[in-house]
Chains A and B, each alone.
Chain A
Amino acid sequence: DIQMTQSPSTLSASVGDRVTITCRASQNIYSWLAWYQQKPGKAPKLLIYKASILESGVPSRFSGSASGTEFTLTISSLQPDDFATYYCQQHYRYSTFGQGTKVEIK
């Protein structure tokens, strides 16, 4: 199975901060990676797919990048609505999620 290691598990930040979350795959998954945002009591929401393509309707402050087996989700200027938990998902071979990163208010 492909393992996805996400870090950090928790991140404290303020409105306006630049935030970076990392996900590392246990083997090459090319660009078959997606990012999701989940708020308490709600289903996840797709933000980015193919490592860097923004899903329709997602604000441009969200971006994704890749370098080898390391993937990054960046929020350029954190907004109040962005405090949530974020997950990466590989779908190169079946599917695996990272453990999640909770972005909380500093």
Chain B
Amino acid sequence: QVQLVQSGAEVKKPGASVKVSCKTSGYPFTSYAVNWVRQVPGLGLEWVGWISAYNGITHYAQKFQGRVTMTTDTPTSTAYMDLRSLTSDDTAVYYCARDRAMDTVSPDPLDGWGQGTLVTVSS
């Protein structure tokens, strides 16, 4: 079955960077893009960006342009999200989620989700 397993919780100081991993299994990794979505505790969902696991093409939400980098590692079927210059506003649960359709060129509905990674930014 489709599984996305994320790395554990992180505590970072303002100005630091965080890298969250998302190890996938149960499907052909390069056939499905991965999205990153975040949720500030008690608030709604916010789309961060999308990466094709086939060719590494990315689409980032404008709000995160220049501060986020998404990558994939095919041999380990793992996706990564690197977020830099953290502030307290970045305190949130970060989810990775798989596009529902194969071979997409832009974000799709999300049919498989990781368990979430809490990133806390505090001095």
Contacts and interface: CB of A to CB of B under 8 A. Distances in A.
Interface of A: 1, 34, 36, 38, 43-46, 49, 55, 87, 89, 91, 93-100
Given A43-B115, A46-B111, A55-B111, A99 B59 contact: no
Contacts of A36: 45, 110
Given A46-B109, A94-B106, A87 B62 contact: no
Contacts of B100: 46, 49
A94 B115 contact: no
Contacts of B95: 43-44
Given A46-B100, A91-B106, 12 more contacts: A36-B110, A44-B45, A44-B95, A44-B113, A46-B111, A49-B109, A91-B107, A91-B109, A94-B61, A95-B35, A95-B107, A97-B46
A4 to B, nearest CB: 10
A49 B109 CA distance: 7
Nearest to B116: A43
Contacts of B115: 43
Interface size class of B (residues with CB under 8 A): 20 to 34
Contacts of B111: 46, 55
Contact of A94 (B50, B110, B116): B50
Given A43-B115, A43-B116, A46-B100, A96 B109 contact: no
Most buried by B among A38, A43, A44, A93: A43
Contacts of A94: 47, 50, 59, 61, 106-107
A34 B45 contact: no
B45 A87 contact: yes
Contacts of B116: 43
